[in-house]
Amino acid sequence: MPDTILVANAGSSSIKFQVFDIVGETSGLDLNLKGQVEGIGTRPRLIARDAEGGRIADETFSVGDLPDARAALGQLGHWLRARLEGGFPAAVGHRVVHGGPAYDTHVAVDDDVLTKLEALVPLAPLHQPNNLLPIRAIRAMQPEVLQVACFDTAFHRGHPEVADRYAIPERLYRDGIRRYGFHGLSYEYITRTLATLAPEIADDRIVVAHLGSGASMCAIRGGRSIDSTMGFTALDGLPMGTRPGQLDAGVILHLLTNNGMTADAVQHMLYHDCGLKGLSGISNDVRDLLASEDPRAKLALDYFVYRAGLALGSLAASLEGLDVVVFTAGIGENSSAIRAAICRRARWLGIDLDEVANAKGARLISAGTSRVRVMVIPTDEERMIAHHTLEILKRRRRH
């Protein structure tokens, strides 16, 4: 059996995973299997498929069996060991949302790295604790196995200083309060994919819209991130499923001083009760809102599209022009209605949508008359993590 790389993308209610075989003299990566444990704490279910998409597992569990992410990790580990015939991966790559000021590239995890990443939990309370949970579990069980932390922030660390700064005292910037940007693994994957699919435009002025439950947009030129809608935390920028996006800091001060809310209560509200869920009062899922006739659902979607249109114009300004727009992630890849609405708001930028191609979910959805090319490209953060993990594994083996 070839050496494998396991990729873990752990959240609060789901754990996505992929296993890649390391093959060939050039150490390529072939997908072996992929899946997720979803509905953790509510309706737990393990689903897995092989490389051809065939279902190889579909198991449901009681909430008592899998009440939390820790229990789900244990069950997933048991299933993977059986599937891999008792073998353990040569390396494990993890999505870690926040790398802070210390990490501008992906790194092998040791005690010092883990301590620094734990210190960043307050900056990503919805993601970072769950990202670190499987790292700790594997270190306790198989401490000799190489584990690699791959950061959503790393792709953005080359921003111009003016894009990273807030207008706050210098000492706070030195303390790490700056605009980091997130979803970097997705943006890096799209950038590399464009270089293969359409090398003639890969160095153009590109805005990628990563639209999912978590949503952001990124300006890219020459394969590098120039600016992003997200900032110090993953609360900033576009409205999301349950997060508000851009918000006047005075609102937070008002809630703390005038409404009597505690910091913990404000944090919970911002991460769990805002965004599409807060505006609609119905759901954080775009599919539910599109199917609803409630005017609050329409308001939430209109707001999402409006803010995306503003962000697209702003990022085009950071690039001093716009040549390509790419939609990706759950909403970006699957909702033709949201793509169409955003493109209609961006006609002034030279976007002319091909409505038929968009409805079909084609890769190219702009009309022949469009000055800006508009594309739909599925993202694959897990493959990007596997790639970086393999590079670090190869360096280790050379030395």
Catalytic residues, by residue number, are: 152
> Between the CA of residue 331 and those of 128, 141, 211, 216, 321, what are the distances in Å?
23, 37, 5, 12, 25
Asked if 230 and 183 count as a contact pair (C-beta separation under 8 A), the reply is: yes
Burial 152-181 (b: 16+ CB within 10 A, else e): bbbbbbebeeebbeeeeeeeeeeeebbbbb
User: If 0-12 CB within 10 Å is exposed, 13-18 middle and 19+ buried, where does residue 100 land?
Assistant: middle
> What's the DSSP call for residue 206?
E
The sign of the CA dihedral 78, 379, 3, 141 is negative
Question: What angle is formed at CA 73 by the lines to CA 71 and CA 76, rounded to 5 degrees?
Answer: 115
Strands (E), 155-251: 206-211, 215-221, 224-228
What length is written for the chain?
399
Cα–Cα distance between 22 and 28 in angstroms, integer? 6
Please state the separation of Cα 14 from the chain's center in Å: 14
> Between the CA of residue 265 and those of 251, 259, 272, what are the distances in Å?
14, 11, 10
> Between the CA of residue 218 and those of 176, 346, 369, what are the distances in Å?
21, 16, 25
End-to-end CA distance of the chain: 24
Cα–Cα distance between 234 and 227 in angstroms, integer? 14
Cα–Cα distance between 61 and 23 in angstroms, integer? 35
Asked if 114 and 135 count as a contact pair (C-beta separation under 8 A), the reply is: yes
Residue 84: strand, helix, or coil: coil
